[in-house]
Structure 1
Amino acid sequence: MPQPEHAPRPEKIFPVSWDQFHRDARALAWRLHEAGPFDAIVCITRGGLVPAAVVARELNVRIIETICIASYHDYKNQGELKVMKGVAAEITSMRGQGKGVLIVDDLVDTGKTARVVRDLLPAAHFATVYAKPMGRPMVDTFITEVSQDTWIYFPWDTGLAFVPPIKAGGD
Structure 2
Amino acid sequence: MSENRLPHEKGFHISWDQIHRDSRALAWRLDGKGPDNGDWRAVVAITRGGMAPAMIVSRELDIRTVDTISVMSYHAGGGAANERREAKVLKSPDSELMGDGTGVLIIDDLVDSGKTLELVRKLYPNAHFATVYAKPEGEPMVDTFITGVSQDTWIFFPWDMALQYVEPYRGA
TM above 0.5, yes or no, is yes
Moved more, 34-43 or 134-143: 34-43
Q: Report whether the alignment pairs 1:43 with 2:51.
A: no
Contact 1:45 1:66 in 2 (8 A): yes
Moved more, 72-81 or 59-68: 72-81
**Partner SS for 1:72:** coil
User: How far off its partner does 1:99 sit?
Assistant: 0.8
**Partner SS for 1:84:** strand
Among 9, 12, 15, which residue is 1:17 paired with?
15
Give me the CA root mean square deviation. 1.6
> What is aligned with 1:92?
98
Among 118, 121, 125, which residue is 2:121 paired with?
118
> What is aligned with 1:146?
149
TM-score, normalization by structure 1: 0.89
Q: Report whether the alignment pairs 1:83 with 2:81.
A: no
User: How far off its partner does 1:154 sit?
Assistant: 0.4
Question: Which consecutive residues of structure 1, in runs of 5 or more, have no partner in the other structure?
Answer: none
**Partner SS for 1:114:** helix
Identity of aligned residues (%): 57
Q: Count residues with an aligned counterpart.
A: 162
Select the structure of larger CA radius of gyration: 1
TM-superposition CA deviations, 1:1-59 (whole Å, max 9, x none): x96xxx52443100100001100000000001032210011110000100000000000
The whole-number CA distance in structure 2 between the counterparts of 1:123 and 1:74 is 31
TM-superposition CA deviations, 1:121-159 (whole Å, max 9, x none): 100110000000000111111000000001100000101
**Partner SS for 2:4:** coil
User: How far off its partner does 1:163 sit?
Assistant: 1.5
User: How far off its partner does 1:164 sit?
Assistant: 1.7
TM-score, normalization by structure 2: 0.88
User: How far off its partner does 1:120 sit?
Assistant: 0.8
> What is aligned with 2:54?
52
Question: Which consecutive residues of structure 2, in runs of 5 or more, have no partner in the other structure?
Answer: none
Contact 1:48 1:106 in 2 (8 A): yes
Contact 1:92 1:120 in 2 (8 A): no
Give the AA of the match of 2:89.
Answer: V
> What is aligned with 1:28?
26
TM-superposition CA deviations, 1:77-112 (whole Å, max 9, x none): 13332311122211222xxx1110100000000000
> What is aligned with 1:73?
75
Runs (4+) off by over 3 Å: none
Give the AA of the match of 1:91.
Answer: L
